[in-house]
Structure formats: C-alpha cells, structure tokens
Amino acid sequence: MDIKVNWLAVVLATVAGMICAKTWYRKTAFGPVWRKLTGIGEAASQAAGKRPIVITLFANFITAIALAILIHAGSIVFGTKNAGVALLTGFVAWLAFSATTLATHNAFELKPAKLTWINNGYQLVLMLSMSLVIGLMG
C-alpha cells in the first residue's frame, strides 16, 4: 500500500487545530472553568511564555500527519475518499487513543470529572475538525 500525505492538508489541519484550541479555552468558552479546575491562573500562563503554544503546535502537526495517514488508509479500506471516512477515522482515533488515555490519566491523577469532559470535548472537536480538513482536501 502506497501511503500518500497531502502536506498542504496537514498544514491547514494544524492551523485548524490551533484555532480549535484558542476557541475552546478562551474566556468566553471553557477557559475560566478549565482554569478553576486546574488551578492554573493567568499569571502562571504568562510565566510559561510561548512554550505551551509551541508544544501544542508541534503536537497538532504530528496529529495531522497521523490522521492524514489513517484517513488515506481508511479510504483504501472503504474504497472511497470522502468526508465521512475522514470523520469516522477522526472519531475512532479520538475514542481509541485520546479519550481513553485522558480518562485513564485523569482518573488516576484524581482530577475532576468535569475537567475530563472539558478536555475530552476539546480533543473530539480537534480530531474531527482536523480530519474534516484533511478529508475535504483528499
């Protein structure tokens, strides 16, 4: 099987991922509740500088590459390239890897269930939006 990666789709999916993060955790969305549940205030975020953003950018880029590969493989398995295959792939990737890992870590770290729901919701929106971008460009 010859795996093809559309690098423009990967870059645009990475941008979509960064937009998701900025939107999800903003002050008018889940940001204030997330800050309260994590205990991370504005001052701590400022002190961290750009490091968390750089890490998120790198992680989103790697995620976009993996999704592009998985979506391509899925399109071969299903014999079609469409947004439905891309979204299904993104959902399965989220459920199998992101949701389960985050739920397990948060359970053992005794983090509030509400925090797990907020972060898992973000991960789902992230995976689906990145997958949609890749699927539409496929």
Q: Which of 13, 42, 40 is nearest to 119 (CA)?
A: 40
Distance CA 116, CA 133 (A): 26
Q: Are 6 and 137 in contact (CB under 8 A)?
A: yes
Q: What is the mean pLDDT of residues 70-79?
A: 92
Q: Are 29 and 79 in contact (CB under 8 A)?
A: no
pLDDT at 127 over 90: yes
* pLDDT given for residue 1 in this prediction: 64
Q: What percent of the chain has pLDDT over 90?
A: 92
**Tokens (6 digits) for 108:** 């053992």
The residue with greater pLDDT, 60 or 3, is 60
